[in-house]
Chains A and B, each alone.
Chain A
Amino acid sequence: MKAFAELLERLLYAPARNTKIALLLAYFTGRPDPERGYALAAIAGALDFPGAKPAVLKALAQARTDPFLFELSYDFIGDLAETIALIWPGTGTPHPPDLPSVIRALHNAPRDKIPGLISFWLDECDPSTRIALIKLITGGLRVGASLRLAQLALAEMGGVEVQAVEEVWHGLEPPYEDLFSWLEGKGAKPDTQERPVFRPVMLAHPLEAPELSRLDWAAHRAEWKWDGVRVQLVATPYGKRLYTRTADDISSAFPEILEAMNFHAVLDGELLVIRDGAVAPFSDLQQRLGRKIVSAAFQAKFPVGVRLYDILFDGVEDLRARPFDARRARLEAWFAMQQPARMDLSSLIAFTGLEDLAALREGAREAAIEGLMLKLGDSPYLAGRPKGAWWKWKRAPLSLDAVLMYAQRGHGKRSSYYSDYTFGVWNEKGELVPVGKAYSGYSDEELIFIDRWIRNHTTQRFGPVREVEKCLVFEVGFDAAQLSTRHKSGVALRFPRILRLRTDKPAAEADRLETVRGFIV
């Protein structure tokens, strides 16, 4: 338990991604089974212990401490888990319980025995280990390390590509002994053939000017690029899953899609809110994301569907090595036979060359269309972002001139610079209202300039956030404007980024809110 606590603590404080991966790698390499597997499960959020909720812990702590001192301490610290861990009497024993026995006990104990167990463990652990214990059992690790980082560390451990780890991941169970055995070269790669596992997806490169002139148009197929969520549908006799392109399992948020998956295949497509055949803006889909329970009324209000564009497996047959054209033919045939509910095919767009494609791209002003996808007809389905196979050709960004309002420091190597900017435009009353936040698009020189400008023009601080004098204008690029109830301005921008600095422009001449509203389709 102590080594796990130390890992969580270091992950919490480590600012850099590479540091976190190094910490995870050292832990996975240095700790025995099944401890490392349970730690991995905890980080992956694959553990849940009903009966161990924060209220139980608070009651335990209040029974064991002076209520006045508890309140003073809680006020000072502000975090319940930390307060309990630190105020709990005693400083532990030299041999606190190990992680596997804690997890086994939590799984096996009847609910009414759990508070007694927790109390016993808190006595046995030192304060740092208690924090880890409490975070573990209440399920709120929040250590700043995702499953993705853990998978990168595992890939490094085994000297394999991260896609190979992703591919077996969803067929495995804690404490993952078969996974570690494979990565350490002691056992075979876990067999996940017919399990509903995630397959690494194929991604596209942005199409820039140099490639535009070189591209062999006849060899490419074109489709619309829809502004939804890229999903992978996996249905086998062993189960059904809906994954995002980063392998997050979002099945429970979209029960109607799962219900429609009555086939044995792995498909690639775009999850969209579709009403009467028309695709709704991304903000509608956002309403459905991140929900655990979805009521029927909500399903009716935001009806979802999947626009399919590729087939990876038909039954047990792996089609990924086949060229795009062959897969497309297979997908069309498969679709004609299966006729799955809540799904349609992404249509191929007929074109002859650059001119008519460019015209189509510029003509598309529908909010749900981001631009065009171009796919090489003879390319296999490859994991990652292979060069020269798939291209995304987004339509030219919309832009507006906005005024910098607040700034915050960035993360990782940008952590000592103010690199996150909230900007606003003028409303009817002549007030500046925020319309978005941008973290990218500037050069290193511009970043240094803006950082210095912010330090010299700060008017107020709110924790890590600085409010600045409202006089620096940015040209902000974005893909679409949407209505939003979350922003005071009532609008939100999709993918905002800094196009350039407009030090020549007075703030009073920045854009007005009504201009932004005009972009909403």
Chain B
Amino acid sequence: MFYKLHVDNDPALTPRPESWLMPTKQGLYCQPGDFHIDPLRQVPRAVITHGHSDHARPGHEHVLATAATLALMRTRMGAERAGARQQALAYHEPLAIGDVRVTLVPAGHVLGAAQVVLDYRGSRAVVSGDYKRQPDPTAAPFEPVRCDLFVTEATFGLPVFRHPPAEDEIKRLLDSITLFPERTHVIGAYALGKCQRVIAMLRQGGYDAPIYLHGAHMPVCDAYRALGVALGELRPATVAAKADLRGAVVLAPPAAMADRWARRLEDPVLCMASGWMRIRQRAKAGGVELPLIISDHADWDDLLRTIRETQAPEIWVTHGAEEALIHEAGKMQIRARALSLIGYEDEE
């Protein structure tokens, strides 16, 4: 099940991870390769894990990422801002950058998302970017990689976050559509990844009617389709034609839900697809009628399982609720450190 087995080295000769990989104010920096991973500011050379805007920022000189991530970056920020020189690297294909060997391995987060595996003089660090372990028809599944240092996120780093199977949540949505056939189900979903996953899972669940999209979602869905992801018939949702939307499923960015955009529809059922929907008060405060616990991120159990599977003796936590995760890692005899990188968001 592991992508590549770790080769045991003489610990005396293996450099400690912090001697060649370090947090800087630009983000995580790999010194022997002279590049940043998911830099928070413009840098000469960037390796990008995935296309979400807090990880893929515009204006870097040289950008290395999977072909899908590059395509999504171009869709979202325009070809010029996505990097002056863009280089695609397929999953599992090692590339030497200076003294470092870089390999991208699926992270299961969104289409094109990759963990960055860094091998340097017998020492291996894996930078996960964001990741999840639940199945997703629109993203290649996460592969655990044994390593000496695992750099993880902790968006849902509290033991109360346990995401139910996403299929169960989609089933609740389909039940609601059956129960309220006259009402428009408007689903708040992040434009990149969540939106397409919800659509693909609705299709898997047997929902084959046209699905309507808020203007912000169409370009990303088109990019997904160009990259070979089937999404069925999609139509633009315009409030002007709200009579057509009776009984339909509409997807919109989370911000449009709080707005009067969604409320102008006829008797809408406001749904929100997010891991935060686990917390009732969050859902209620947002005026959500049908919260769907569907997340792009690993829940607490999957964070711990992943850390165990990497067998890493040390973890660094980039962002999220690191306090609980570091406490739990300590109980597992794993060294743990919070990087507290400022700029990654809890949005999903």
Contacts and interface: CB of A to CB of B under 8 A. Distances in A.
Given A77-B279, A416-B263, A23 B160 contact: no
Interface in A66-125: 66, 68-69, 72-73, 76-79, 82-83, 86-87, 91
A14 B289 contact: yes
A6 to B, nearest CB: 7
Contacts of A246: none
A13 B283 contact: yes
Contacts of B7: none
Nearest to B164: A126
Give the 8 A-B residue pairs with the shortest CB-CB distance, closest first: A86-B160, A73-B160, A416-B263, A13-B289, A87-B159, A69-B159, A87-B160, A72-B324
A23 B281 contact: no
Interface string B144-164: 000000000000001111101
A12 B290 contact: no
B280 A79 contact: yes
Given A13-B291, A15-B287, A82-B280, A23 B158 contact: no
Most B Cβ at <10 Å: residue of A6, A83, A86:
A86
A127 B280 contact: no
Q: Chain B, interface size: which category? A: 20 to 34
A82 B279 CA distance: 8
B327 interface: yes
Interface string A295-321: 000000000000000000000000000
A65 B164 contact: no
Contacts of B324: 68-69, 72-73
Interface string B269-282: 00000000011110
Interface in B303-348: 321, 323-324, 327-328, 331
Given A12-B284, A13-B283, A87-B159, 19 more contacts: A6-B172, A10-B290, A13-B288, A14-B289, A19-B289, A66-B159, A69-B158, A69-B324, A69-B327, A72-B158, A72-B323, A73-B324, A76-B279, A78-B281, A86-B278, A127-B162, A128-B164, A131-B280, A416-B260
A22 interface: yes
Contacts of A415: 287
Contacts of B176: 10
A241 B161 CA distance: 47
Contacts of B179: 22-23, 26
Nearest to B327: A68
Contacts of A79: 280-281
Contacts of A14: 289
A13 B284 contact: yes
B285 to A, nearest CB: 8
A91 B160 CA distance: 11
B180 interface: yes
B289 A73 contact: no
Contacts of A87: 159-160
Interface of B: 158-162, 164, 172, 176, 179-180, 260, 263, 278-281, 283-285, 287-291, 301, 321, 323-324, 327-328, 331
A440 B159 CA distance: 45
B180 A77 contact: no
Contacts of B284: 12-13
Contacts of A78: 281
B324 to A, nearest CB: 5
B79 to A, nearest CB: 40
Given A12-B284, A69-B327, A82-B280, A77 B160 contact: yes
Contacts of B285: 464
Main secondary structure of the interface of A (DSSP, over half): helix
A77 B281 CA distance: 8
Nearest to B323: A72
Interface in A39-89: 65-66, 68-69, 72-73, 76-79, 82-83, 86-87
Contacts of A83: 160
Nearest to B262: A416
12 contacts: A13-B284, A19-B289, A22-B180, A23-B179, A72-B158, A73-B158, A73-B160, A77-B281, A78-B281, A82-B160, A82-B280, A128-B164
Interface in A148-174: none
A87 B278 CA distance: 12
Contacts of A15: 287, 289
Nearest to B267: A16
A123 to B, nearest CB: 14
A91 B162 contact: yes
A10 B290 CA distance: 7
B283 to A, nearest CB: 7
A424 B279 CA distance: 36
B97 to A, nearest CB: 39
Contacts of B288: 13
B164 A127 contact: yes
A82 B285 CA distance: 16
Contacts of B160: 73, 76-77, 82-83, 86-87
A65 B288 CA distance: 31
A204 B287 CA distance: 36
A355 B138 CA distance: 79
Contacts of B290: 10, 13
Contacts of B162: 86, 91, 127
Contacts of B323: 72
A69 B331 CA distance: 12
A13 B272 CA distance: 12
